[in-house]
Structure 1
Amino acid sequence: MSTTTLRLPPDLRDRVSKLAEESGKTSHSFMLEAIAERVANEELRRGFLNDGNARLANMLDAGIGIEWTEMREYLRGRAAGTDSVPPKVKKWRD
């Protein structure tokens, strides 16, 4: 494992120390967990963005998609717990 030095402002260092102690952890393990959580969240976010961009490129290339108004109603129904029928894919470009 490599070593990295973090220069923390005194107020942040104190907050980390307090929370780590309350959690029964060392400041070091608390910061490692925080960094690992942030990295995982950022990787997930970038994965969503990459997936969305790929789907958009595919939609633009194929010229087919789902009307947003129809998808919104479908999603509202799903969120409300009703049996919603997924909207049909339509050609929007010749």
Structure 2
Amino acid sequence: MSTTTLRLPPDLRDRISKLAEQSGTTAHSFMLEAIAERVANEELRREFLEEGDNRIANMLEMGVGIEWADMRGYLRERAANRAAELPKVKKWRD
């Protein structure tokens, strides 16, 4: 494992120490977990955005998609934990 030095403002260092102690861990472990969580979240965010970009490109290339009104209704039903039929893909461009 490599070593990296972090220069922390005193107030942040104190907050980390307090939270680490309350969590029953060391400040070092607390910071490692925080960094790992942030990295995982950022990777997931980037994958999500890339998937969206790919889907838009595919939609534009193929000229088909789901109308927003249909998708919105579907999502509302799913959010309400009700069964919903997936909207039909429609051609919107020749």
In 1: Cα distance, 2:86 partner to 2:27 partner: 49
In 2: Cα distance, 1:73 partner to 1:67 partner: 10
Over aligned residue pairs, what C-alpha RMSD do you find? 0.6
Give unmatched runs, 5+ long, in structure 1.
none
TM-score by length of 2: 0.97
Once the two structures are superposed, the pairs formed by residues 79-94 of structure 1 within 5 Å of their partners are 79-94=79-94
Shift in Å at residue 74 of structure 1?
Answer: 0.6
1:58 equivalent in structure 2? 58
In 1: Cα distance, 2:83 partner to 2:30 partner: 44
What per-residue deviation string (whole Å, max 9, x for no partner) do you get for residues 37-81 of structure 1?
000000001010011110110000000000011100011011112
Runs of 4+ with >3 A deviation: none
- Give the aligned residue type for 1:4: T
Shift in Å at residue 11 of structure 1?
Answer: 0.3
Percent of aligned pairs sharing the same letter: 76
In 2: Cα distance, 1:21 partner to 1:77 partner: 44
2:36 equivalent in structure 1? 36
Aligned length: 94
State yes or no: 1:13 paired with 2:13. Answer: yes
Q: Give SS of 1:22's match.
A: helix
Give unmatched runs, 5+ long, in structure 2.
none
